[in-house]
Copies of this chain bind each other. A is one copy, B any other.
């Protein structure tokens, strides 16, 4: 019996719509696998989902990832899978990816680790596709590998792990409101002004340079999004209030995590990240919006066996 923990992740990281993502320390999902003699992969139990997720193996990102892995091996091995949802789903924190990654990683370990983490990404993407309708890697890659990852391209998949500045800390807040990923996708325009595209390539180039140079002042100057945030922020009634709270608290930056509703701020110390987290929480509390706050450094390990 093997259990894997896969962390939550922040997609886009403001400057890298659809191409950047990073793992955080917590929350995360746990998936436990063990062999069965039935030549099928089945879900034994899901905890923490309030009964909302289907138990059919072909409908869960964790089991779809495991089935993809076994098919690639040409194996008929059966597995019993238990999924512990320990993070909110529909949160913009990569919950579906975390289950897919934890499932693929746990199953791989149980089988004697025939695949590397990089190789496992393709199976996790098959799982992720069940939830999001596409093989999006901006949560799967950082969740699997840890750190800050760049998905340079998909044909073929080209993933680059970027360095993490020493003092970079992250405060994430999940407001308990529902944003459908589909709505967050549909609100985006099909075309963007050329000047916005130019602004964005300047900012992401500066961001990557800042990571290599350990230059948090430069990082802070770059953290602006012209492609997705101006549209998606309109789906978040308290976006401005939470942002103002974060920046008042001294955050280096503030933005939406993935397609939302979670939001995140970077800070240059643990103390400041804690303070920023508290101020963001107060801002939502004042609006009567239930919320959860997570403060950590970037998680450089990614998925682990526990």
Contacts and interface: CB of A to CB of B under 8 A. Distances in A.
Interface of A: 15-20, 150-153, 158, 160, 162, 188-194, 196-209, 212, 218, 221-222, 227
Contacts of A19: 198, 201-202, 205
Contacts of A151: 202
A209 B160 contact: yes
A16 to B, nearest CB: 6
Contact of A205 (B150, B197, B198): B150
Contact of A189 (B20, B194, B202, B203): B194
- The interface centre, meaning the residue of A15, A153, A202 with most chain B CB atoms within 10 A of its CB, is A202
A11 to B, nearest CB: 13
A16 B196 CA distance: 13
A137 to B, nearest CB: 11
Contact of A201 (B17, B194, B209, B212): B17
Contact of A152 (B158, B160, B162, B203): B203
Contacts of A192: 191-194, 197
Nearest to A18: B198
Given A152-B222, A189-B194, A227-B194, A205 B16 contact: yes
Given A204-B204, A221-B158, A150 B209 contact: yes
Given A160-B209, A221-B152, A197 B199 contact: no
Contacts of A196: 197
Given A158-B206, A202-B19, A193 B190 contact: yes
A229 to B, nearest CB: 13
A257 B1 CA distance: 59
A212 to B, nearest CB: 4
Contact of A204 (B17, B20, B201, B212): B201
Most B CB within 10 A of own CB, among A197, A198, A200, A201: A201
Contacts of A194: 188-192, 227
B193 A153 contact: no
B191 A221 contact: no
Nearest to A212: B212
Given A152-B206, A193-B191, A194-B189, A16 B162 contact: no
A198 B153 CA distance: 10
A193 B196 CA distance: 12
B205 A20 contact: yes
Contacts of A17: 198, 201
A205 B17 CA distance: 12
A190 B191 CA distance: 10
A92 B197 CA distance: 22
22 contacts: A17-B198, A19-B198, A150-B206, A152-B203, A152-B205, A152-B218, A153-B199, A153-B202, A153-B203, A153-B221, A158-B206, A160-B218, A162-B209, A189-B194, A191-B192, A191-B193, A197-B197, A200-B201, A201-B204, A204-B204, A205-B205, A205-B207
